[in-house]
Structure 1
């Protein structure tokens, strides 16, 4: 029995082939496009990955500044336009494929993109879930609500905390819906992602930290005492809370990335590894 594929159409799930360009809104403000590229601070040696190239408005600017551009697009109508637009551009390659199915470059790369709203979180997971991938930095236009969620001090999703151990994620600016065609129903935002010079958790221990954050996020509203039970002893929790300078009422979602780093370091140093929460590598694909 074969499994039928499902896609999202507006807010409903339907059966069929997954066209990931659903939710894509093309930018037409040239001054804004230049500001986005300038924010990326592209060098002539950079490899750029553009996810959701559309008709190539951003692609053209990127190709003038980067060593090489990989423009990913799924919509056949846009592919034809792209091919004409970059016909004489030798450093740009069009990749006609589902964004979520492409293989990321094996060499260091930068992402500059106006991504489809419908797959914003899956794209972020593809780029950030595995810190040893050669993704260096990104300047990404996305739906404003998603941008707020990824950069909030109150974090409801465990994967966002994990990302912050290795990457700085910053909210750069609002972008009005009037800059897009067709205009979306909500405003957008520009988010900048940079790999930390000094990661809070070593790359080699990424699965150890993922196990910890997954365990503690059984409920993001859990008070810290409840979240730490089963890993730390009561005495260790008491001592850890003094180091973190927190009281009993603070929920897991309110912990800072620095506090998460302290919890991780304390666990690795003082907790026997048979009590460390475990996570399978394959689970990260479904986070």
Structure 2
């Protein structure tokens, strides 16, 4: 198995070299269906094992030399594209995204994906803390809460820093994202719902009870039944709410 990459580090990527981590990623992708789009393949540490799934695979690599090297050793089902994923035209047809994300571009790539149509599942390696927060472990971020009605985020495991070259200062995390077949909030409400969550995260108050009163202008009499119907404690912090609780608050908020 190909487990080492000679690609340059100038694009800020820490390349995966651990066979066990690579097998875990491939196994997660194997649970999905459809063509595969890989972000930043480097010299193919993931690309070549992914080819064993015998599915169409497109690998988008920003490094010209790495793209040309990889293209020479891939099979007929694999297409290597030289380009920047952040500007690459993504397919609208169903597909699966996989990638070892450059740590400094994680947020930008995630935002690109979350706004993009077509893909059904993503298997991504990020910084450990980013993967935890996106999956809502120990509390979610505002970004996760805004997108949770449309995607299910799951933390699949921790990848030690020793699994990368060059070795990063922090461990990595393995995050999967699945597009919900039935969103918890209608897509037509997405912008208004996102604004609602933003006000909750940034509004005054120490718990959802105070936040709904002071930040959203609801009376105490309105807040009690609203929280009760959504199954939310009055003192709960916004980052502790589940996707279902946020959706229930949105549906019932005056």
TM-score, normalising length from structure 1? 0.76
The structure-2 alpha-carbon separation of the partners of 1:233 and 1:187, relative to structure 1 and needing over 3 Å to count, comes to closer
Structure 1 pair 128–220 and aligned structure 2 pair: CA distance change class (3 A): farther
Secondary structure in 2 matching 1:170: strand
Gaps of 5+ in 2: 1-7
Which whole-Å CA distance do the structure 2 matches of 1:46 and 1:233 have between them?
46
Aligned twin of 1:187: 171
Indicate the SS of the match to 1:99: coil
C-alpha displacement of 1:161: 0.5
> Is the Cα–Cα contact under 8 Å of residues 126 and 174 in structure 2 kept in the other structure?
yes
Partner of 2:13: 24
Q: Does 1:46 align with 2:30?
A: no
CA contact (8 A) 1:177 1:188 kept: yes
- Counterpart pick for 2:105 among 102, 107, 119: 119
Match of 2:132 in 1: 148
The alpha carbon displacement at 1:50 in A equals: 0.5
Match of 2:218 in 1: 233
Q: 2:231, 2:245 within 8 Å by CA — same for their partners in 1?
A: no
Q: Distance in 2 between matches of 1:189 and 1:32?
A: 10
Q: Distance in 2 between matches of 1:48 and 1:220?
A: 44
| Displacement over 4 Å in runs of 4+ | 219-222
Structure 1 runs not aligned, ≥5 long: 1-18, 272-287
- Map 1:173-184; keep pairs closer than 5 Å: 173-184=157-168
How far, CA to CA, are the matches of 2:19 and 2:186 in structure 1?
Answer: 40
1:204 deviation in Å? Answer: 3.0
**CA-based RMSD:** 2.5
Q: Distance in 1 between matches of 2:154 and 2:115?
A: 17
1:101 positional shift: 1.4
CA deviation string 1:93-142 (max 9, x = no partner): 22222221122211111012111111111111111246xx1120111111
What is the total number of aligned residue pairs between the two structures?
245
Partner of 1:255: 241
Helix, strand or coil at the partner of 2:86: helix
Q: Secondary structure at the match of 1:103?
A: coil
